[in-house]
Amino acid sequence: MTKIAYLYVFDTMADWEPGFLIAEINTGRYFQKDAVKYIVRTVGTTKEPVVTMGGVRIAPDISLEECITDDAGVLILPGGDTWLEDIHLPLLDKAKEFLNADVLVAAICGATMGLAKAGLMDNRPHTSNDLGYLKSVCPSYAGEKFYRHESVVPDDNLITASGVAPLEFAREVLRELGVFSAQTLEAWYQLYVTHEAQYFYSLMGSLEE
């Protein structure tokens, strides 16, 4: 069985924020033997090429109209400089559609501001880059009592993360998708956090269990 991991791409997208995540989802190199396989497909508001914050030009695989919940495993929303602009309104409608269909939506950094603007975080635990900033840029935001001062917050089928926590973001999405064993996930995370070789051997060893 193969599912689709949709990666929303747009002008000014923060290249690095979904990097850890999409590399592991797409390669499946550390997946459990019985894990669902994934293919990463880029989706734009249209199929017109976009240019990321790092200057990388991406031609989306599909347009937003072609992005459907059937066979979808996750909708990944990276940060960027334009999330408060109306250009993303169709995507925010799509995110609501995915949430209502109980498909995982994973948002990091500026994408959380887009969700706040759309009212999608008003009634569930979440995080962002900073509560004060979120309130100042999203006057309609009404979810303060659900805000968590944490780097990443999973809540059912929504995962939100600060822009300085791409590794933690990846870990929680991989955990929610259930594609890594618990031992593999912990070793994988510790390897990148500590840079200690022992966790590489732990990671390799976990794949043989």
Q: What are the Cα distances from residue 108, in Å, to 49, 171, 193?
A: 22, 13, 19
Residue spans of alpha helices (H) in 28-181 = 89-100, 110-117, 131-137, 166-177
Which residues, at least 6 apart from 160, have a Cβ–Cβ distance to it below 8 Å? 107, 108, 112, 115, 121, 126, 127, 128, 152, 153
Q: C-alpha angle with apex 29: 52 to 163, nearest 5 degrees?
A: 35
- The rounded distance, in Å, linking the Cα atoms of 96 and 101 is 9
Residue spans of alpha helices (H) in the chain = 19-27, 89-100, 110-117, 131-137, 166-177, 182-194, 197-206
Q: Give the pair of three-digit tokens for residue 93.
A: 């409608």
The answer to whether 67 is a known catalytic residue is: no
Which helix (H) or strand (E) segment is 48 a member of? none
Catalytic residue among 4, 5, 43, 109: 109
51 DSSP β-pair partners: 57
User: Which positions are catalytic?
Assistant: 109
